Amino acid sequence: MKAYRPLWIALLVMAAVSPIGLYLPELLQAGAAWGEWSLEEVASMIGYTPSGMRKLADLWAAPIPDYALPGQDQAPLAHRSLTYIASALVGIGLCGATTYGLTRWLIHRKG
């Protein structure tokens, strides 16, 4: 387990600095974070909404949209940063658990 310590430290550091994606657009008055645009924002940027994007827009709904808990859409940026970090930690945990489980399953399967 000691061999994985640098990996866990790197993942925790990345989770801790993840709110940079919230602060930079705010500081630069750039609107939404890069790549997190709504259909309306894309249409205003390029003049139209791509048909594939329109078709697939309702396929997935984020469990925590805008990284704010329900009823806290207009929460201060510092509060949303904590939710952003919590989202990163949950994602790291889920990916780690899935990888661990899949690895154990494959090892057990091969005997």
What's the rounded Cα separation, in Å, for the pair 80 and 72? 9
Structure tokens at 52: 């594939």
Query: With 80 as the cut, is the pLDDT of residue 87 above it?
Result: yes
Distance CA 34, CA 82 (A): 20
- Tell me the per-residue pLDDT of 13-72, one tens digit each, with 9 for 90 and over: 998 888 887 788 778 877 777 777 889 989 998 999 999 999 998 888 777 776 677 777
Q: What is the pTM of this model?
A: 0.66
pLDDT digits (tens, 9 = 90+) for 62-83: 777 766 777 777 778 788 788 8
Predicted confidence at residue 94, as pLDDT, reads 92
Q: Which long-range contacts (CB under 8 A, 24 or more apart) does 11-15 make?
A: 11/92, 14/88, 15/85, 15/88, 15/89, 15/92
